[in-house]
Structure 1
Amino acid sequence: MKYRYLPVLAFSLITALAQAEPVARMESGVLVNASGMTLYTFDKDVAGSGKSACNGPCIALWPAVSAAGDVKPEGVFSVITRDDGSKQWAYQGKPLYTYSVDKKVGDQLGDNFKEVWHVVK
């Protein structure tokens, strides 16, 4: 599968993301992490709140897209601080997650899961 980095990303953001987990857009428009795994948002997260509503058992099933503590947000990407103090990437203010059931690149098994989880496009 071919990836192209988002045009809104400046070289500084690509460098910052490389410290944690780079985000790319597949030709289909879906955002993926450095491993090519699909990224998701959760409807219970409030955009721009700086918080994640996915904690406890939820985070085991929906792992957060980790950000290094010293990365700088830019453009549509920001960083939130989770309840446990770790950092997580957000897209347009919504925290980003992968889905533990997705096993291979291109899997999107979490899309519309319980009508509250959605592939990021």
Structure 2
Amino acid sequence: MSPKKTLPALAIGAVLALTVGFAAHAAMHANLPKAIRLQATKLGQVYATSSGMTVYEFKKDVPHSHKSTCYGECATLWPPVAAPAGFKSMKPWGIAVRKGSEKQLTYQGYPLYTWIKDKQPGDVTGQGVKGVWRVAKPGKTQISWTAKS
């Protein structure tokens, strides 16, 4: 094959690869609940509330149980992320029913929280607090519980 014929084939292959990659990325995020968006941070892309505040998972919550163990002072410091009105579970997103029938949004079975010390969109100061809090990130690759921001 001549170099003149190879170059267009490579260009077409690159465009197809980018298109497929973009489509896969878009599909992964197409089912984000209305209360959640992606937010760029120094830890990479993380999930955040619609106002841009980073959401976190709590190690003491049992994965896939859709039950919160954060109440009282814990919930004051780490406010639960409310599930949007009318939200229906759609993997990996779900609902934890808290005491008092409040509905809390979950990601991969972990109830989600914000952190009162995060002051502006993109802050990730809750990452690694007491070794039991971590940012919620897209996909299966998670930051360890103890990694500091």
**Do they fold alike, i.e. is TM over 0.5?**
yes
What percent of counterpart residues are identical?
39
Match of 1:25 in 2: 38
Which protein, 1 or 2, shows the higher relative CO under an 8 Å CA cutoff with sep ≥ 6?
1
TM-score scaled by length of structure 1: 0.82
Match of 2:86 in 1: 70
Higher helix share: 2
Deviation at 1:6, TM superposition (A): 6.2
Deviation at 1:120, TM superposition (A): 1.2
TM-score scaled by length of structure 2: 0.67
Instruction: In structure 2, list runs of 5 or more residues that go unmatched.
Output: 1-24, 138-149
- 1: distance between equivalents of 2:72 and 2:81? 15
Q: What amino acid does structure 2 have at the position aligned with 1:25?
A: L
Deviation track 1:13-44 (CA, whole Å, cap 9, x = no partner) reads 45xx33xx2x1223422111100011100000
Instruction: In structure 1, list runs of 5 or more residues that go unmatched.
Output: none
- Moved runs in structure 1, 4+ residues, more than 2 A? 5-10
Match of 1:85 in 2: 101
Q: Would you say how many aligned residue pairs link Structure 1 and Structure 2?
A: 110
Measured on the aligned residues, the alpha-carbon RMSD in Å equals 1.8
Match of 1:103 in 2: 119
- 1: distance between equivalents of 2:27 and 2:62? 25
Q: What amino acid does structure 1 have at the position aligned with 2:126?
A: G
Q: Taking structure 1 as reference, are residues 69 and 80 closer, same or farther at Cα in structure 2, changes over 3 Å only?
A: farther
